[in-house]
Structure 1
Amino acid sequence: MVTSNPFSAIFGRSPFQPLLEHIVKVDDCAEQLLPFFETTLAGDWTQAGIHRENITRLEHEADDLKTELRLNLPNTMFLPVSRSDLLDLISAQDKIANKARDISGIMMGRKMQVPDALAPSMRDYLRTSVACVNQAREALEELKGLLESGFGRAVSDVIDNLVRELHHLEHQVDSQQVAVRRRLFELEATLPPVDVMFLYRVIDGIADLSDRAERVGDRLQVMTAK
């Protein structure tokens, strides 16, 4: 296929395809939190354990991809973005999978069941946070298209729009976090204090998940602005 992209000759050796493969793995890892959470609500710890194993496996696979990319990224290559930006991006992506693993680890380790009165808002909160990761993946897919089109202005605009939507979702997560924490505060007197402490850790972890997805979007904006 003939293309006007000046980087097409070296695209086969470019790190952008591995970066995309990595964010797909990271996104799959975060997505597993949704069925994992549902099985914890149902008290089905056997099935929750299966989802937890999937999360751990996907996190390890993402980690392997990260290591492979770092080891094989040349010190000198005529790319439209800097090597340090690429390394920052892979690190930001990897932290999303790490956080998904941590959230499931806390809940699985304690066999934590979210109180019924808190469950609906927690479910929506988690879904929005995972949607942030989905949006980061979509933005990176568009970046690959941006490179293939030679940094066309229209595609740059698409990236900006996707990242703006990511920021909107992250702000929604922030608002949901406030509401969930407020509701948990109202329930504290009816719950064991240790359970309350770990519930707050999970709530904060879900917020961290969206924060890390937002950082991926920020890195993509920086890369396409240069």
Structure 2
Amino acid sequence: MRGVAKLFGRSPLTPLQVHMEQVEECVDGIIEILHGFMSGMSHEEICDKAKHVSKLEHNADLVKNDIRNSLPRGLFMQVDRATLMAMLADQDSIADKAEDIGVLLSFKAIPLIDPLKVHFSDFIDKNVQAFKVVRAIIADLDELAEMGFGGEEASRVEQMVDQVALYEHEADVIQRGMLQALFANEDDLSKGEFLLWRNLLRDIGGLSNYSEKLANRVRIMLAIK
């Protein structure tokens, strides 16, 4: 996207924050789809919204590629190039998972059977909470850098990293329970529905998995400063 290269003059972290804004649009779009799925949204509308999320993910990819092409080499920065690239890749994976969820739900209308419905909302919430906290961490990186990645701001961010890990763990626990329920009730689903549900749970869980991975990179960054 135009203007990303100029952002490096302010801070190498600013383009990462710009990309995260694009990633958040993808996640917000998939939250809308998931809530619609739970409330009986038509399959046609789900498909339309999934296409929109795919467009948002493409926009995020454009920003990602521009950042990769514009990132200075051999220049002293507050955060080393390899770390920035790894963090950018994690953010990209979150956007990819959001798109994947929409694609799965667009393949076929699948039933939300009661054994899955009872925990589905909580499962979504835990994954979204993990993302929202790491999104806030990324938004705070400029202030963190101004403080030399230390002091009270660093302590606050470390607590936020711990919160992401907790949400990811809670999401994992719910996911295991839902997978057990899925296998216990597989006779109530067609083979295609069973496969879609298994993959859907995996990809929703990927939101918190990659959020934790990204948060842990910030933790490591703080530890070596």
* TM-score, L = length of structure 2: 0.89
Report matched runs for 1:5-154 at 5 Å.
12-41=9-38, 42-154=40-152
Runs of 4 or more, structure 1, over 6 Å off, are none
**Cα separation, 1, equivalents of 2:33 and 2:124:** 11
**Cα separation, 2, equivalents of 1:110 and 1:144:** 43
**Cα separation, 1, equivalents of 2:218 and 2:12:** 14
Residue deviations 1:34-93 (CA, integer Å, cap 9, x gap): 220232341412332332123112211111111111111000222122111111110111
SS in 1 for 2:9: helix
What displacement does 1:11 show?
Answer: 6.6
SS in 2 for 1:89: helix
Aligned to 2:205: 207
1:173 to 147, 166, 171: 171
Q: Is the deviation greater in 105-114 or in 89-98?
A: 105-114
SS in 2 for 1:176: helix
SS in 2 for 1:34: helix
Which runs of 5 or more residues in structure 1 are unaligned? 1-9
SS in 2 for 1:12: coil
**Cα separation, 2, equivalents of 1:13 and 1:71:** 17
Counterpart code for 2:21: V
What displacement does 1:138 show?
Answer: 0.8
* TM-score, L = length of structure 1: 0.89
SS in 1 for 2:185: helix
Counterpart code for 1:179: G
**Cα separation, 2, equivalents of 1:95 and 1:113:** 27
- Kindly, what percent of the aligned residue pairs are identical? 27
Superposed CA RMSD: 1.8
**Cα separation, 1, equivalents of 2:150 and 2:217:** 19
Aligned to 2:180: 182
Counterpart code for 2:173: S
What displacement does 1:114 show?
Answer: 2.4
Which runs of 5 or more residues in structure 2 are unaligned? 1-6
Q: Would you say how many aligned residue pairs link Structure 1 and Structure 2?
A: 217
